[in-house]
């Protein structure tokens, strides 16, 4: 593995009527390993609390791996909690479709990647940070 990224996210509800929303998006490429462990813990008597998780990991190539571990530790009944977990390879049919319309492999990957991160980038109010993220995607994918 050329690089390893290990994310550990922990949301601990220690008061009633608290709210947590965790969304992570990650891409594994070039023989990397991406690991995300996300735990939301709602303690007893923390009524009316909410905890939501959304973990999405995209694998670019067969040399890379991704591991996702969403965990809900719920010690109270009067709460709302959910988790979504999506882990998958870059769809070769999508890449082929875009290539058939004149894009290179890297252009197709970049377009798919930008769609993957689009709503994350748009949620950031600072245009400078948005530009930095787009530029980093350009550097990582090329073209």
On whether both 67 and 56 belong to a single domain, the answer is yes
The confidence score (pLDDT) of residue 11 equals 96
Residue 32: how many CB atoms within 10 A of its CB?
20
Same domain, 38 and 107: no
Beta bridge partners of 27: 58
**Number of separate domains in the chain:** 2
Q: What is the pLDDT of residue 42?
A: 97
Tens of pLDDT, residue by residue, the chain (143 residues): 478 889 999 999 999 999 999 999 888 888 999 999 999 999 999 999 999 999 999 998 889 999 999 999 999 999 999 999 999 998 899 999 999 999 998 899 888 988 888 888 999 999 999 999 888 888 887 65
pLDDT score of 143 = 58
Q: Do 121 and 79 share a domain, yes or no?
A: no
Regarding whether 95 and 35 lie in a shared domain, the answer is no
Give pLDDT, residue 142: 67
User: 59 near 89, Cβ under 8 Å?
Assistant: yes
Choose one of 89, 104, 131: the last residue of a domain. Answer: 89
47, two tokens? 């009524």
Range of the domain at 80: 1-89
Do residue 15 and residue 82 come from a single domain?
A: yes
Please tell me the predicted confidence (pLDDT) of residue 136: 86
Q: What is the pLDDT of residue 83?
A: 94
Give the residue from 96, 26, 117 showing the smallest Cα distance to 65. 26
Together in a domain, 35 and 71 = yes
User: Are residue 6 and residue 65 in the same domain, yes or no?
Assistant: yes
Tokens of 126: 């600072």
Task: List the beta strands (DSSP E) in 31-104.
Answer: 32-42, 50-59, 65-74, 80-89
As a whole number of angstroms, the distance between CA 43 and CA 48 comes to: 11
- pTM score: 0.79
């Amino acid at each position: 593995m050329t690089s390893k990224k290990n994310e550990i996210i922990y949301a601990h509800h220690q008061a009633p009527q608290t709210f947590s929303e965790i969304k992570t998006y990650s891409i594994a490429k070039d023989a990397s390993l991406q690991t995300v462990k996300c735990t939301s813990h709602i303690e007893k008597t923390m009524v009316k609390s909410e905890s939501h998780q959304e973990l999405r990991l995209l694998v670019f190539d067969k040399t890379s791996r991704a591991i996702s571990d969403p965990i809900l530790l719920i010690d109270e009944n009067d709460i709302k909690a959910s988790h979504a977990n999506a882990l998958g390879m870059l769809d070769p049919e999508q890449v082929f479709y875009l290539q058939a319309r004149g894009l290179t492999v890297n252009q197709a990957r970049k377009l798919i990647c930008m769609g993957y991160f689009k709503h994350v980038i748009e949620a950031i109010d600072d245009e400078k940070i948005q530009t930095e993220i787009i530029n980093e995607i350009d550097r990582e994918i090329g073209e």
